[in-house]
Amino acid sequence: MCRSIKTLRRRDETATDEEVRAAALQFVRKISGYRVPSRVNETAFDGAVDEIACVSQKLLAALTQR
């Protein structure tokens, strides 16, 4: 789906907050169809990026704990 989003679960290093946020931004851009949202949609767009980044961090943390 989003070919520009790279795999963030790696054995040698953990993903940085910036990498996770960039992936979340790309995902929201793809889903919404906006590269840059209009002012009226900016709050929803940014909120979605924040939520997806947070959930992604939780997922990565859960996957690496064994």
Q: What's the pLDDT at 11?
A: 78
Q: What's the pLDDT at 53?
A: 97
Q: What's the pLDDT at 26?
A: 94
Q: What's the pLDDT at 12?
A: 80
The neighbour count for residue 64, using CB atoms within 10 Å, is 12
Q: What's the pLDDT at 9?
A: 81
Question: Can you tell me the distance from the alpha carbon of 56 to that of 17, in angstroms, rounded to the nearest whole number?
Answer: 10
Greater pLDDT, 6 or 34? 34
Q: What's the pLDDT at 14?
A: 86
Specify the pTM.
0.84
